[in-house]
Amino acid sequence: MTVSQNIDTAPVFDVTDEKAVTKLRNKLLGWSETNPRKFAQAARDFFTACGVPTMEPGAENAITVKSFINGVPMYSVASTTFTEFDIIHGKAKRGALFWNEMPLSARQTFFATMAEEVGPKYKAALDLAITLEVGKAGSEFAKTIAWDTWAASAAVKRYLSGTFVMDDKGYNYYLNRVDEIGDDVNHIYFYQSDSARGLGICGSTNGFNYPAALAVPDIVASRVGGNGFIGKVPSKAPSFLFLRRMAEREVLNLMAERFESYPWAEEARERGVDFRDDLVLRRLKNGFGIICGRQVIETWAKESSTLRIVGSKYAGKVFRKYRREVDPKMEHTILELAGNNPAVIMPSAKNLDGGLASIVAGLSKGNKSNSGQRCTSPRRWFVHADVYDEVRALAVAEYEKSANNDDGAIDNPLNLKTQIGAIDKGGYHAAVEYLKHAENNGATIIGGNRIFQKRFPNAFYMTPALVIWEGVPAASKEVMHEDEVFAPIANLVKVESLDEAIEMTNKSAENLSGAFYCDNKHIDELGTFLRRTDLGSVIHNSPPKDVSPEGVHAGRQDGGVGITGSLKSLDQYMRPKQENDIRLLAQVHSRADAKALAEVLLKSE
């Protein structure tokens, strides 16, 4: 079986039946430890019901998916051939024509229906699929709904095809920010963009560590802008894209049934996008394509109008090479790569609510969660000497209680009470090598132990590790600034000044997100840090995190290229506005008049 699948095939098992999925999860919990054969077969049947074109594990010219939970092979998915890619690409390209002609209001109705009606039906299946594949505890559902809700928002509508203001100096403003227009401006123009036009086909591949939360930004941003989408599945966790496609087809079927009731139906019909037409509906569904394996990856990367990649800095080097041929300025290429994220704790941080104990607890939680396999995990803690001893004592206590899993946070992730599940095999072995190096050079190690070897001999469960670099020569500490170690390891380093914290931060080129702790009386320290470092984003008085969709998530240097999140990120998926897309609504001659008109227009939108 290939990745091309009958798009209207009905699964035998209803993955939207929450009770049935929960019952299956409980059975798999027992079989994962007692009966590998039953576990593998039941898992494969479930993934087939999720729309994954499964094959027997170990099939030729296919990727085989093993569960991180116990190392058992569950199924294989055929690698896409060049012939199959041409078919998938052709279908997505035709589908993109209809997505582009669909009124923006219709696209937003699509995402609102996903967020409010259809998406929640798939939560239990989404959670189970991800847990089975990559051994994760917890859920990524909230992030997917946040993106769908954002795509349906008034803010996105205003940005893509609403009204904007321009002063006589050529500066643009949002309607609700006309107060920022200077007093010396004589003419203020109100323009309206009549259409949001996509570039064509957007490609995306996401990391195994967050198979849903890392994929959905491109799925949403690409098609709310009117593009087709072809996603490449991560080889360790293919199921989410297939499950998402199944949910999206259900949304399109609902929209076809309700077509006449929508206020935008007549406009859609005039543009040739009548959802009741079987061919149109099928082409809209085909606007979501999926590829597997590595054979066609270069062709796919070059033929994508916009490409978004989540991976390591090494993946970034490969895709930079592919994309420079077709996108020399990298304006439509988004690379979200390694994050060797710093957390700087300055002396005044002790004055914050909760004090240093709250800061250490937050950073520890951020470092330990998802077995440390988070792009925003706080990996390097630079603590000012004035508060270092207290922070060190708090950090030691935090990591001692988890060093041998005495807190019970790590367990079989199929148990809904589990806080932390398994770790990737490669991540574990890289962590072992790193900890050996650190220990051999005099660092103190707390935790970092493999557990459950007898219980799960073919899987990997690792306790979080704290590496205390106190007393270690500077040259021996350089390793912490080199390659991101994708594991639950925090490095604790004493610094004598803000300058030294900045120097330590800049020793890594894997700049994604960071944290900076100081009270508001010392906010100038944060300003200095921002000016002299090159992080993608910095969170003040909170652990590093991905604040998209509303906020920016971006890398610098080896940490990435482009922007995920914020309205401005949509420009990466859109063609530049043409003159015939924009019409002049009005001209006024004072900021007061502009404000009054803006208030009227905001209400109408």
Residue 470 has pLDDT above 80, yes or no: yes
**What percent of the chain has pLDDT above 70?**
97
Average pLDDT value for residue range 124-130 = 98
Average pLDDT value for residue range 501-518 = 96
Paired tokens of 354: 């909760």
**Inter-residue contact 222 to 194 (CB < 8 Å):** no
SS3 22: helix
**Inter-residue contact 318 to 558 (CB < 8 Å):** no
Question: What pLDDT shows up at residue 194?
Answer: 64
- Per DSSP, the residues of 266-334 read HHHHHTT--TTSHHHHHHHHHTEEEE-SSTTHHHHHHH-SEEEEES-HHHHHHHHHHHHTT-TT-TTEE
Average pLDDT value for residue range 237-249 = 98
| Residue 511: pLDDT band with limits 50, 70, 90 | confident
Average pLDDT value for residue range 187-205 = 87
Cα 16 from Cα 129, distance rounded (Å):
13
Residue 605 has pLDDT above 80, yes or no: no
Question: What pLDDT shows up at residue 161?
Answer: 82
> CB-hemisphere CA count at 13 Å for 418?
22
CA distances in angstroms from 257 to 36, 100, 116, 171, listed in the order given: 43, 21, 17, 44
Residue 210 has pLDDT above 80, yes or no: yes
Cα 472 from Cα 7, distance rounded (Å):
59
Domains located in the chain, CATH noted: 18-155+196-336 (3.40.605.10), 162-194+578-604 (no CATH), 341-548 (3.40.309.10)
pLDDT tens-digit map of 33-53:
999 999 999 999 999 999 999
Average pLDDT value for residue range 323-337 = 96
Average pLDDT value for residue range 188-200 = 83
Cα 242 from Cα 289, distance rounded (Å):
9
* Pair type for strands 489-495 and 465-468: parallel
pLDDT tens-digit map of 73-104:
999 999 999 999 999 999 999 999 999 999 99
Question: What pLDDT shows up at residue 185?
Answer: 86
Paired tokens of 540: 């003040």
Question: What pLDDT shows up at residue 229?
Answer: 98
Question: What pLDDT shows up at residue 2?
Answer: 37
Average pLDDT value for residue range 522-547 = 96
**Inter-residue contact 1 to 55 (CB < 8 Å):** yes
pLDDT tens-digit map of 151-174:
999 889 888 887 888 888 888 887
Cα 412 from Cα 30, distance rounded (Å):
10
Question: What single-letter DSSP state applies at residue 61?
Answer: T
Paired tokens of 13: 């098992």
Least confident of 22-31, 56-65, 187-196, 258-267: 187-196
Question: What pLDDT shows up at residue 170?
Answer: 82
pLDDT tens-digit map of 275-292:
999 999 999 999 999 999
Average pLDDT value for residue range 214-233 = 96
Paired tokens of 380: 């390097």
Cα 80 from Cα 71, distance rounded (Å):
25
Average pLDDT value for residue range 581-588 = 86
Average pLDDT value for residue range 234-260 = 98
What global pTM score does this model have?
0.92
**What percent of the chain has pLDDT above 90?**
86
Mean pLDDT, the chain, rounded, equals 94
Cα 50 from Cα 36, distance rounded (Å):
21
Average pLDDT value for residue range 454-474 = 96
Question: Cα–chain-centroid distance for residue 285?
Answer: 23
Cα 467 from Cα 469, distance rounded (Å):
6
Question: What pLDDT shows up at residue 4?
Answer: 38
Least confident of 9-23, 90-104, 411-425: 9-23
**Inter-residue contact 319 to 302 (CB < 8 Å):** no
Average pLDDT value for residue range 330-344 = 96
**Inter-residue contact 546 to 568 (CB < 8 Å):** no
Question: Strand order in 333-336's β-sheet?
Answer: 288-291, 228-232, 201-205, 306-310, 333-336, 560-561
Q: Which residue intervals of 412-543 are DSSP H helices?
A: 425-440, 498-506, 523-532
What burial letters (b/e) apply to 390-429, b meaning 16+ CB within 10 Å?
Answer: bbbebbbebbeebbebeeebbbbbbeeebebbbbbeebbe
Question: What pLDDT shows up at residue 6?
Answer: 46
Residue 204 has pLDDT above 50, yes or no: yes
Question: What pLDDT shows up at residue 575?
Answer: 85
